[in-house]
Amino acid sequence: MQLLRVAWALTGAAICCFLILLIHSRLLQEGQLAAGTCEIVTLDRDSSQPRRTIARQTARCACKKGQIAGTTRARPACVDAGIVRKKQWCEMVPCLEDEGCDLLVNKSGWTCTQPGGRVKTTTAL
């Protein structure tokens, strides 16, 4: 009798877990992002000028309270909103690990300098 109760309890727990997973998957249907994540929607590159490539990307983010869409390690990410408000771009660690970050003079963006001297400039809109 005791074994039967344990079996029914385990069955009930399994059904409950399955229902929670089903509800969660319905809430995060295709096209919806989990909180705190970003995805690149469009990426355009223009290499028409010699020795210069202009890249524009659009990202879609589902940031948590107090966060805003930004860049971390050269990828779109949710960052602290205060960083963007103060335009202290390098605080969000936008460059790759081996690159150095510097603010543009007018604080409109930042540069990432690679060890070989190549510079990538990013301006915020």
Name the least confident of 16-20, 73-77, 82-86, 99-103.
16-20
Read off the pLDDT of residues 16-72 as tens digits, 9 standing for 90 and up: 544 455 445 555 455 677 888 888 888 888 888 887 778 888 888 889 999 988 888
Q: How far apart are CA 51 and CA 106, in angstroms?
A: 24
pLDDT of residue 123: 87
The domain spans of the chain are 1-32, 37-123
DSSP per-residue letters across 20-42 = HHHHHHHHT-TT---TTEEEEEE
**pLDDT tens digits for range 108-121:** 999 999 998 889 88
Residue 51 in 3-state DSSP?
coil
Would you say the pTM of this structure is higher than 0.85? no
Residue 121 sits at the vertex; the CA angle it makes with 66 and 118, to the nearest 5 degrees, is 130
